[in-house]
Amino acid sequence: MSIELMTLAMFATLIAAITLGHQLAFTLAGVATLFGLIDNGFNVPALFNLFANVVWGLMNNYTLVAIPLFIFMAQLLDQSKVAEALFESLYVVLGKIKGGLGLAVVAVCTVFAATTGIIGASVVAMGLLATPALMSKGYQKEMASGIICASGTLGILIPPSIMMVVFAGLTGLKETSVGNLFAGAIFPGLLLSGLYFLYITIRCNLNPRLGPPISREEASKWTSTQKWGMTLKSMLPPLGLILMVMGTILAGIATATEAAGMGALGAFLLALFNKALSWSVIRKSSVATLKTTAMVMMLFIGGNFFSTVFLSMGGGDVVADLFIGSGMNRWLVLIIMMFIVFILGMFVDWAAILFITVPIFMPIAMELDFNPLWFAILMCVNLQTSFLTPPFGYALFYFKGVAPADYTMMHVYKGILPFVGLQMASILLLAFFPELITWLPGIFFGN
């Protein structure tokens, strides 16, 4: 069988297996095993040695130790009520302006995203916390669901992000190290948050019924000093944690793994300070961390084995020749790669997309003389849409699971469409203004 037919058959088998609902990690490893045996003439010992080398390489990857530490930090933060205290204070400060409660949700999610990279925790926490408040003030259902789902997904982009750690582990390039990715994602994350702010403000001022302000009587219950005192008190703990994690990485004091350990300690202390720490909380957080880490590492093993077999049989060269050898303009190639990632995001988990596309697309991007860091962040921003795009956007189902009973999936689908558009607009802005990505890493790491 020719390499071209093998490449096509390998991807067709993978897509068919995923569509049938098989576990992704085992699907990747199983397809790799099947086509690895076909490619090497059914030499089982040789394929086993290849698999063992893949696993050994992953187990020796010090960067990946950051994954369980960041997950544990996120689990403890979910118990420490940091987001709840911050929302209550911003509810008072911003609630009196049109769309103010929606802006408070975006602000809380932006801060919360900078302390945890777990989407489920952000969307569920804000769904439980903010939905009753938004509904009681008369917010349109579509607007409320769109705000919560879109803002909750900021955690996958704004560092510390699990996705960035996985991306760095897949490439192994200096340009796309965890520190560079974290620094490069700060402005894109803030840009996206700013676009949400702008959209909510404009829409709610044009049509106040979408997001009415709280009443003057309610707003006048607190003095200006009380309002800002509440905000400062609720803002300092997460800002301190952000400084502990991101500050040490950007200052070059700690590696991402060391900073993750400090972040886990900081989250532990926050939960203790807020009297939310107990043996039950520690046990629950530890078990959740164990399960999530095991899932991620199994994906790493299956994904790396798949990409290793695919590249070793020449599949990467086939795809590269298809794009580069066709003579297409490099920007058209970039658009096609981004389109593929976007479409995959409608049906496949972000981790699977990374494991499948990064080993193939990154060499192509470098061959076309694109900045690796810039390309990596574009992919990560694009992958954020996978949490919002129907039919399988995880954030949509997280929110629906905690939303009031009168919410339908159609309310949720309609609500997220403008925010998906804003995410696509942010990709265009980052493509035209690459300094938004590359400037900060250049300042801190000299890239």
- Interior CA angle at 252 toward 250 and 258, to 5°? 95
CB 17 within 8 A of CB 295: no
**Dihedrals φ, ψ of 369, to 5°?**
70, 30
Rg of the chain on CA atoms, in Å: 22
Q: How far is CA 182 from CA 162, 168, 346, 382, 383, in A?
A: 10, 10, 25, 16, 16
Residue with tokens 């118990």: 79
What count of other Cβ atoms lies within 10 Å of the Cβ of residue 53?
13
Residue with tokens 């950051």: 66
Q: What is the pLDDT of residue 121?
A: 66
Burial 257-272 (b: 16+ CB within 10 A, else e): bbbbbbbbbbbbbbbe
Q: How big, in percent rounded to 5, are the helix, strand and coil portions of the chain?
A: 80, 0, 20
Q: Does residue 44 lie in a domain region?
A: no
Structure tokens at 128: 């439980």
Q: Does residue 195 lie in a domain region?
A: yes
Length of the chain: 447
The CA distance from 130 to 107, in Å, is 12
The CA distance from 163 to 239, in Å, is 22
Q: Does residue 50 lie in a domain region?
A: no
- pLDDT per residue, tens digit, the chain (447 aa), is 678 888 888 888 888 887 777 777 888 889 989 999 988 888 889 899 989 988 888 788 777 788 888 888 877 877 767 767 777 778 777 778 888 888 988 988 888 888 766 666 678 777 877 888 888 888 888 999 999 989 988 888 888 888 888 888 888 788 888 889 999 999 999 999 999 999 999 999 999 888 888 777 766 776 777 777 877 777 788 888 888 888 888 887 888 788 888 888 888 888 888 787 888 888 888 888 888 888 878 888 888 888 888 888 887 777 777 777 667 788 999 999 999 999 888 877 787 788 888 888 998 999 899 999 999 999 999 988 888 887 777 788 788 887 887 788 888 888 899 999 999 999 999 999 999 999 999 888 775
Q: Does residue 33 lie in a domain region?
A: no
Query: Which of 15, 54, 23 is CA-nearest to residue 312?
Result: 54
The CA distance from 87 to 132, in Å, is 13
Structure tokens at 294: 């095991």
Burial 232-246 (b: 16+ CB within 10 A, else e): eebbebbeebbebbb
CB 116 within 8 A of CB 159: no
Burial of 280 (0-12, 13-18, 19+ CB in 10 A): exposed
Instruction: Tally the domains of the chain.
Output: 1
Per the structure, the complete domain to which residue 288 belongs is given by: 61-445
What's the sign of the alpha-carbon dihedral 433, 343, 145, 75? negative
Predicted structure pTM score: 0.84
Q: What is the DSSP letter of 155?
A: G
Q: Does residue 168 lie in a domain region?
A: yes
- Interior CA angle at 55 toward 352 and 246, to 5°? 65
Residue with tokens 């990409």: 307
Q: How far is CA 146 from CA 14, 167, 350, in A?
A: 32, 27, 20
Q: Does residue 25 lie in a domain region?
A: no
The CA distance from 133 to 148, in Å, is 12
